[in-house]
Amino acid sequence: MIRLVDPDALFFDLSIFSHDPLNWAVMLDQADAVFLCGNPRFDRSNYPHFWVTELWDHFADARAHGILTGDFFAGCASPLPLDAPQTESKLLLTYPRNAATARAHASLDALVCRDRSSFLISDSPSFSPLLFPCSTFWASSYFGIKPFMKTHNAVIIPSLYVSKDLIRSLRSLVKRIPNDLPTYLVAHCRSEFLMLRELLPDYYPSIILSDPESLLRFLSTCDHLISCRLHASIPALSLGCKLLHVAVDSRSRSLDLFNVPYVPMTSVLSGNFSFSFFDSFMYDPPGLQPFFAYFKSHIMEKLP
């Protein structure tokens, strides 16, 4: 998305999961702007993750060096049952770590939130973030991947809150898919894949897709998708899948900005829900113009 609004931008990618002070030293020497991207900022814990504690000290250091700072697509993660966004945002602010993150947000040059709860947490009289749909919707365009002939269905399992009952409940939904295409059970990492093989040894095919581009290519030929992963469901909207999203926590609220419904995991486990797919071929996709305007005014116009 930054490339689209600023075609001349050059990038230096740093992983927030493998912090290296030397990389930050290079960044302070080279960067005009630094952006934090990915993973929820707010949850019901005070666990001192690097990216929600000492990282903000590095951002303050960057600002002291005249570097612009931003946090893109911040979100919330609260367990089921889902509270209203106003309730969730107030509850999350009772955790000191979340309150400290909100204060850090107020000092940024740009902040984009992917759900209403994170927007309410970070909105203030002196600083208003942009509430905008999750950027993974445009991932297929970035890789040049388009919808293709539909050859299969898929069930994508969650990374959290997985149980034998949930896996079997998701598997039972396959029988209700209205076509006879083969259906794959999809894991995103080795531990999930091995768990599938353990819990459903008699079911084949189950596959592992850990590479983002490979996942997008797989989704481009997927007809019906039952997904517990937000970052599978949102790209699937851009690739013409018929989607049933199963919410495992409040991260699914990001789908509200796409006007896409979802079903709580608890309802799937109980069998008490209305079974229907959202047909994304009938979908009116969001436009990028609000992000372009925000990025230009908060970042590009401030650059020397």
Which residues, at least 6 apart from 27, have a Cβ–Cβ distance to it below 8 Å?
12, 14, 34, 62
Q: What is the pLDDT of residue 159?
A: 82
pLDDT-derived band at 27 (thresholds 50, 70, 90) equals: confident
Domain ranges of the chain: 2-133+287-302, 140-282
Task: Kindly report, residue by residue over 207-264, the tens digit of the pLDDT.
Answer: 999 999 999 999 999 999 999 999 999 999 999 999 999 999 999 999 999 999 999 9
Nearest CA-CA partner of 268 in 177, 186, 169: 169
**Cα torsion angle, 228, 231, 233, 239, sign:** negative
Q: What's the CA gap between 265 and 72, in Å, rounded? A: 27
Whether the predicted pLDDT of 172 surpasses 70: yes
CA-based R_g, the chain, Å: 20
The pLDDT value recorded for residue 163 is 81
Q: What is the DSSP letter of 298?
A: H
Distances (CA, A) of 83 to 140, 142, 156, 251: 32, 34, 25, 12
Q: How confident is the model at residue 17 (pLDDT cuts 50, 70, 90)?
A: low
Residues 232 and 215: beta-carbon distance below 8 Å: yes
Residue 202: CB atoms within 10 A of its CB come to 4
Two structure tokens written together for 9: 């931008």
Please tell me the predicted confidence (pLDDT) of residue 128: 85
| Structure-token pair, residue 248 | 């495992």
Q: Tell me the fold of 140-282.
A: Rossmann fold (3.40.50)
